[in-house]
Amino acid sequence: MGQLAKLALADGTVFTGRRFGAEGEVFGEVVFNTSMTGYQEILTDPSYNGQIVTMTYPLIGNYGVNQSDVESKGLSLRGFICKELCREPSNYRSEKSLDEYLRENGVIGIEGIDTRALVKKLRVKGAMTGVLSTTDLDDASLVAKAQNSPELVGQDLVREVMPAGNSEWAQPLHEIARAAETPLPVRDGAGAGKHVVAIDYGMKWNIPRHLTEMGCRVTIVPGTATAEEILALNPDGVFLSNGPGDPRPLDYAITTIRDLLGKKPIFGICLGQQLLGLALGGEIFKLKFGHRGANQPVLNKETGRVEITSQNHGFAVSGDSLPEGAEVTHINLNDNTVEGVRHAGYKAFGVQYHPESSAGPHDSHYLFGEFLKLMN
């Protein structure tokens, strides 16, 4: 048996398991993801900044880790939890084990706990603050730390993961992803000549890969960029990226988007949709335990089709709060929360899920084509 590690929740519950990855102690909001695959995409998604992620699928790490599938420059999550870690991965693309990868990136992992009991608690009581430690194994001490650690609500976590300055993106989809996703709804240079400015609040790299695959020129700017700075780049369209945490404290982002409305076509994903909703005058609320997984059913109200989607968010737009001119285009069939918003007059739309998800599913790639239509 390996070194012990403990997870303590703010409600007083303590789980004891085995450490993998790095050593130390961290706090964060404990959440769960129901995906069966795609753990490397989850690990490198900056949207998990400030969170300790639990995987509900029992065996994690079986196909290892490789450099081609990373979605950001580093790992932003606070900790990682699974039922059983595979220490001998088997895949022709594997370059190292998950244990090695977390250790190199300073992320603490814990295995061997009852993840079903943990997830059930989070579903009943909601996502809550927890402390994950390999150094302090005293239950009372850890519970006290969890109860005194700050909550995710009200924090600006975007500044910790956004880039420092502007950059040009030129990397297309990986050849394996391109083959798996054939036929893409928009490719073969259909967007040639179009310039997209992507506002990076913690963006997954597969988003600019899809935009580049369409033939667009992509300029990435930090989440603090102003409307004046963005318009000076003369874009044909503006993309609002995903990102971590609560959108409500991000006054700088909301102001920028509000100043861009009606001036350039806008497409937002996840946090980007929430910020668009706030800029339009809508309201945001926190979900009890969020939507995190690759199997969320979403109804496209316009077509009547159901899309199976990849999601990662703990906040949502209140549909009833949207002003005249804005409409709800997609809803989650599990809880009827808003999954898509559009304002035709401003040529702006957003979705709460991830159409670019490299681990799948691929039902929603058409949304990149919708963005191109607006730019045309």
* Rounded Cα–Cα distance for residues 14 and 8 (Å): 4
**Contact present, 146 and 8 (Cβ < 8 Å):** yes
Q: How do residues 151-167 score in pLDDT, each as one tens digit?
A: 999 999 999 999 999 99
**Contact present, 82 and 111 (Cβ < 8 Å):** yes
**Mean pLDDT for the chain overall:** 95
Do strands 79-82 and 108-111 pair parallel, antiparallel, or not at all (unpaired)?
A: parallel
**Domain ranges for the chain:** 4-148, 158-375
Give 175-179 contacts, CB < 8 A, sequence gap 24+.
Answer: 176/68, 177/206, 177/209, 177/358, 178/213
Q: How do residues 93-150 score in pLDDT, each as one tens digit?
A: 999 999 999 999 999 999 999 999 999 999 999 999 999 999 999 999 999 999 999 9
* Rounded Cα–Cα distance for residues 211 and 177 (Å): 14
CATH classification for the domain delimited by 4-148, as one of 3.40.190.10, 1.10.287.70, 3.50.30.20, 3.90.1170.50 = 3.50.30.20
Q: Does domain 158-375 have CATH number 3.40.50.880?
A: yes
- Sequence letter at residue 39: Y
Q: Which residues are catalytic?
A: 270, 354, 356
The whole-number pLDDT of residue 348 equals 98
